[in-house]
Amino acid sequence: MFTSIAIIGRPNVGKSTLFNKLTKSRDAIVSDFSGLTKDRNHGLIILKNKNNLLVDTGGIDNEKEEIKEAISKQAWLAAMESKIILLVLDGSNDLNNQDLEIISKLRKLNKEFIAVLNKIDKKSNSSMKADLQANGIKEMIDVSAEHSININALRSKLEEKLPNQSIKFPDGKKIAILGRPNAGKSTFINNLINEERLIVSEIAGTTIDAISVPFKFNNEEFILIDTAGIRKGYKYNTNIEYFSYVRAMHAIDQSNIVIFMCDLSQGLVDQDMKIINMIIENGKPLIMAMNKTDLLSKNEIDRAYLSKKMQTDFVKNIENVEISALKKKGFKRVFNLSKKIIDKSQKKFSTSMLNRLLETFVNENSPPSISGRQIKFKHVHFGGTYPTTLIINSNQDKKIPSNYKRYLENSFRSELKLKSVQLKIIFRKSKNPFKDKKNKLTEKQIKKRKRLIKHSKK
């Protein structure tokens, strides 16, 4: 396993804030809401100039509610997999029964742990230290994760305890999994790697953070990023849902490709179209995984593809794969197609080839005249990836009709085989290199000009 250091504790003691400080990132959502972290969240921490993995976990709660039990189970799995455990306690309060239960269970695991007393910046008469010492815990450190107090001291303590070995943080093609709540994103990842890595529940919205999972498929290294389901009205709902949306957008930005998970039994809905549009605007390649096909007959699947939304040009430019996350069907095709599209999205096209294509397109369908002036395209060159960008220089830019722009975009997309890869064409008006330059007449030309003027007056 990749786990090295796990952060555990009861809800709302500052585990995610500490995780962000130690990894020097903002990968974990931080809020005043308790129980915000649900799945294990991995991050990179550098100690002794070596890579190690730090794992943020959800709050351990002894309540018998189903979702809370699942969160606690994930935290204890992280603790069992780790080399060292950071037990985070609220140093501004006294030791309570819930803390004592966690300590008791930690001792049964026979794992080395460090008690981290967080929130020491808060003034209080807490007897936490005395209570810990009374319970046989002598190794502890005071910190304020929010204000970065004693964070370096904690890092030094970890360096002392860490085994002399380096854990390689995996590289690979990053694939973000997006979709509406309960579309089957976490089930897809769990069944893919044959591990209960993410919490799966019928309760929509179980995943809140964007969770990264290293994975190897056909000797290719991938990093799967499971994101929160984006609900309708996410911008106006609770802070948690808005932050989840922000994390999902960050996951898109970090990814090489996005797999949009669609519940085919419900078909494409307006919210699906909004999410797809957000991905396209971000410029990342996109595959649609049509999930839950095991619940539908062939005729029902065919009818789903005939829906108005599936027939739009917008959707027809996206590759789709029929899968069943629950039955593990279609996984191979998803990854083979992902690899192919990632390679295509990173390809650079030569100027000579692009100009030959442009000339062909213009000859097949000439551009219209604008105010009596013929539109002339000078040349085209490659401008970058994510999205694949082409820059066309012409004698007009803003006056080129939108239907002709679409014609060129569709033509380039078809010839370059860019289905599922976002394409952006920028039109620039070519500058006249002689516009600001005036020809200087020679002495002989000046004399001739004077003679002509004199002659014309006579």
Asked whether residue 114 falls in the same domain as residue 183, the answer is no
Instruction: Give the C-alpha separation, 288 to 259, whole Å.
Output: 6
Asked whether residue 114 falls in the same domain as residue 177, the answer is no
Strands 319-322 and 257-263, bridge-based pairing: unpaired
Locate 395 and state its tokens: 């004698």
**34 inside domain:** yes
Asked whether residue 339 falls in the same domain as residue 364, the answer is no
**32 inside domain:** yes
Asked whether residue 121 falls in the same domain as residue 182, the answer is no
Asked whether residue 47 falls in the same domain as residue 105, the answer is yes
**Which of 345, 375, 409 corresponds to the end of one domain?**
345
Residues spanned by the domain of 421: 351-429
pLDDT of residue 2: 40
Q: In the sheet where 377-384 sits, what is the strand order? A: 377-384, 388-394, 423-429
Instruction: Give the C-alpha separation, 128 to 53, whole Å.
Output: 29
pTM over 0.85: no
Instruction: Give the C-alpha separation, 298 to 261, whole Å.
Output: 19
360 half-sphere exposure, CB direction, 13 A CA radius: 9
Asked whether residue 372 falls in the same domain as residue 394, the answer is yes
Look up tokens 């191979």; give the residue. 332
**Which of 319, 345, 371 corresponds to the end of one domain?**
345
Instruction: Say which CATH number the domain at 133 has.
Output: 3.40.50.300
Asked whether residue 310 falls in the same domain as residue 362, the answer is no
Strands 319-322 and 286-291, bridge-based pairing: parallel
Asked whether residue 370 falls in the same domain as residue 418, the answer is yes
Asked whether residue 323 falls in the same domain as residue 205, the answer is yes
Return the ∠ at Cα 231 (arms to 225 and 237), rounded to 5°: 115
Helix (H) or strand (E) holding 228: none
**364 inside domain:** yes
Asked whether residue 307 falls in the same domain as residue 408, the answer is no
Domain count of the chain? 3
Locate 446 and state its tokens: 């000046």
- CA dihedral sign of residues 237, 243, 249, 251: negative
Q: Are 154 and 237 in contact (CB under 8 A)?
A: no
Asked whether residue 322 falls in the same domain as residue 234, the answer is yes
Asked whether residue 124 falls in the same domain as residue 181, the answer is no
Instruction: Give the C-alpha separation, 206 to 190, whole Å.
Output: 14
Instruction: Give the C-alpha separation, 392 to 368, whole Å.
Output: 16
pLDDT by residue, tens only, the chain of 458 residues: 344 688 888 888 888 888 888 887 665 545 444 455 555 566 778 787 776 778 888 888 776 666 677 777 778 877 887 788 899 998 888 888 888 988 888 888 888 888 999 888 887 777 888 888 888 888 889 998 888 899 999 989 888 887 665 545 456 888 988 888 888 888 888 887 775 444 444 444 444 345 677 777 777 888 888 776 666 654 444 445 544 666 677 678 778 999 999 999 888 888 888 888 888 888 999 999 999 999 999 999 999 999 888 888 888 899 999 999 999 899 889 989 999 999 999 999 999 999 999 999 999 999 888 777 888 898 999 999 999 999 999 887 778 889 999 999 999 999 999 999 999 999 998 775 555 556 677 888 888 888 888 877 76
